[in-house]
């Protein structure tokens, strides 16, 4: 009997404890998340959903949006300028990405040495990253001027150059890409530097004892360890090239003859110069899908960022 009572009272106390636990559901963290959720929803998710709706409408800001179904997407399929902008993004990718994925590695190896004043060089290489793109783009416009420093240098080394780099349909894209790569290089150098410093010292020591040459150490020890870093830089650089805007806006305005037009710049022109918001948002959605796919690839390659750590 007594045993039974004890059993019952234990059961009851367990139930009470459970209830209490249930009652004590900790909602505080969620409340603290609320401001961020409200702000993100108001300024990020709702506008995104709105944009998705507007992409199916003809909308010129001043007149109410009119539902046109897939019309904007159909127009896009036949819009030469859209395809040209997309093709240009591919060209930017082919020129910029190899430059920002490979060259910064050598820069990182260079500044990874323990020599006097190395911080100064790190600073120099990183300086373009923190300089405003507008200022950089204007400066590079002068370099590319027909009588600018680039042509002067080429003439100096005996190459007769009168190229109008930014106003020639063949040279404009490489010219803008080089500036973009130059500006971003310091950033990727820093990522590689972090990667290099994370490479196990023991491995390098062991390789040295085994008589490996510095080149062999680089190829067989450093590079395999840096593989995840490569993946991240590759995808980040790709994302960057798809979103190129400021440099093109300042240096060429998309010209000559749309040869440097990028998708973001075209969207900007349609939306804010011609006020064709419906079509612009439709292109924005396509750009968003492209970026999402690239981001997912990024996530998969870097395994959610784990392998980088």
Partner 1 sequence: MGRTKIVSLSLVILLCFLPLLACSPQEDLSAEKDENIELEFWTINLKKNFGDYIQGIVDDYEKENPNVKIKWVDVPGADASKKFITALQSKEVPDVVNLASMDISLIKSYGVLNPINSLVDEKELDPYIDGLIEGLTFNNELLGIPWYHGGPAVGMLNTEVYEQAGLDPDNPPQTWKEILENGKKIHEKLPKVYGSNDLPTMEVLVGQGLPILNDEGSEAVFNSKEHVEFVEMFVEGYKNGAVASGAVSEDDRQLQQTFENGQQAHVGQKLASTLVGIEKNAPSVLPKLKVFKPVTGSEGKVALAGIQTFVVPKKSEHPEEAAKFALYVTNAKNQLEFTKLVAIFPSTEETLEDSFFTDFEVKNIHDEARKIMVEISPNLTINSLGIEKEQELKDFYLEQIRAALLGEKTAKEALDTAVEHWNQELSK
Q: Which residue matches tokens 């059993």? A: 7
Q: Find the binder of partner 1 among 9, 12, 42, 200 (CB under 8 A).
A: 42
Stretch that binds partner 1, among 117-125, 216-224, 230-238, 273-281 (CB under 8 A): 273-281
* Number of CB atoms found within 10 A of residue 68's CB: 18
Between CA 184 and CA 231 the distance in angstroms is 16
* Residue 171 sits in the site that holds partner 1 (CB under 8 A): no
Q: Which residue matches tokens 């204007």? A: 138
* Residue 24 sits in the site that holds partner 1 (CB under 8 A): no
* Minimum CB–partner distance for residue 172 and partner 1 (Å): 11
* Residue 164 sits in the site that holds partner 1 (CB under 8 A): yes
Distance of CA 196 to the CA centre of its chain: 22
Stretch that binds partner 1, among 66-74, 86-94, 212-220, 255-263 (CB under 8 A): 255-263
* Residue 274 sits in the site that holds partner 1 (CB under 8 A): yes
End-to-end CA, the chain? 61
* Number of CB atoms found within 10 A of residue 222's CB: 21
* Number of CB atoms found within 10 A of residue 159's CB: 10
Cβ proximity to partner 1, 108 vs 282, nearer residue: 282
Cβ proximity to partner 1, 81 vs 121, nearer residue: 81
* Minimum CB–partner distance for residue 24 and partner 1 (Å): 11
Stretch that binds partner 1, among 59-67, 226-234, 239-247, 281-289 (CB under 8 A): 59-67
* Residue 253 sits in the site that holds partner 1 (CB under 8 A): yes
Please give the structure tokens belonging to residue 247.
């440099």
Segment (H or E) for 57: strand 57-58
* Residue 61 sits in the site that holds partner 1 (CB under 8 A): yes
CA dihedral angle for residue 150, residue 155, residue 160, residue 161, rounded to 10 degrees:
10
Cβ proximity to partner 1, 71 vs 258, nearer residue: 258
Q: Which residue matches tokens 């973009």? A: 180
* Residue 254 sits in the site that holds partner 1 (CB under 8 A): yes
Q: What are the angstrom distances between the C-alpha of 210 and each of 21, 205, 206, 213?
A: 61, 9, 6, 9
Residues found near partner 1 in the complex (CB under 8 A): 28, 31-32, 34-35, 38-39, 42, 60-63, 141, 145-147, 164, 166-167, 169, 252-258, 272-275
């Amino acid at each position: 009997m007594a045993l039974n009572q004890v059993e019952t009272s234990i059961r009851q106390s367990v139930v009470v404890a459970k209830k209490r636990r249930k009652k004590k559901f900790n909602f505080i963290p969620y409340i603290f998340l609320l401001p961020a959720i409200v702000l993100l929803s108001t300024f990020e998710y709702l506008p995104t959903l709105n944009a998705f709706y507007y992409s199916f409408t003809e909308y010129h800001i001043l007149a109410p949006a009119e539902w046109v179904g897939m019309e904007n997407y159909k127009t896009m399929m036949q819009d030469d300028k859209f395809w040209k902008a997309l093709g240009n993004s591919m060209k930017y990718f082919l020129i910029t990405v190899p430059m920002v994925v490979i060259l910064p590695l050598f820069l990182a190896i260079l500044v990874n040495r323990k020599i006097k004043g190395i911080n100064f060089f790190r600073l120099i290489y990183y300086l373009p990253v923190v300089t405003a793109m507008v200022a950089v783009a204007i400066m590079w416009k002068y370099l590319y001027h027909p009588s600018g420093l680039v042509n002067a240098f080429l003439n100096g080394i005996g190459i007769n150059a009168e190229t109008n780099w930014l106003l020639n349909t063949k040279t404009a894209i490489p010219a803008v890409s080089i500036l973009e790569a130059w500006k971003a290089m310091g950033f990727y150098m820093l990522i590689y530097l972090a990667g290099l410093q994370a490479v196990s010292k023991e491995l390098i020591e062991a390789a040295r004892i085994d008589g490996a040459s510095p080149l062999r150490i680089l190829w067989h020890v450093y590079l395999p360890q840096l593989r995840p870093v490569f993946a991240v830089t590759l995808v980040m650089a790709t994302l960057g090239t798809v979103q190129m805007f400021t440099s093109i806006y300042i240096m060429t305005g998309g010209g000559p003859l749309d040869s440097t037009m990028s998708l973001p710049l075209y969207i900007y022109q349609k939306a804010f110069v011609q006020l064709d918001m419906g079509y612009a948002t439709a292109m924005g959605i396509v750009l968003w899908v492209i970026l999402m796919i690239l981001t997912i690839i990024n996530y998969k390659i870097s395994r959610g960022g784990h392998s980088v750590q």
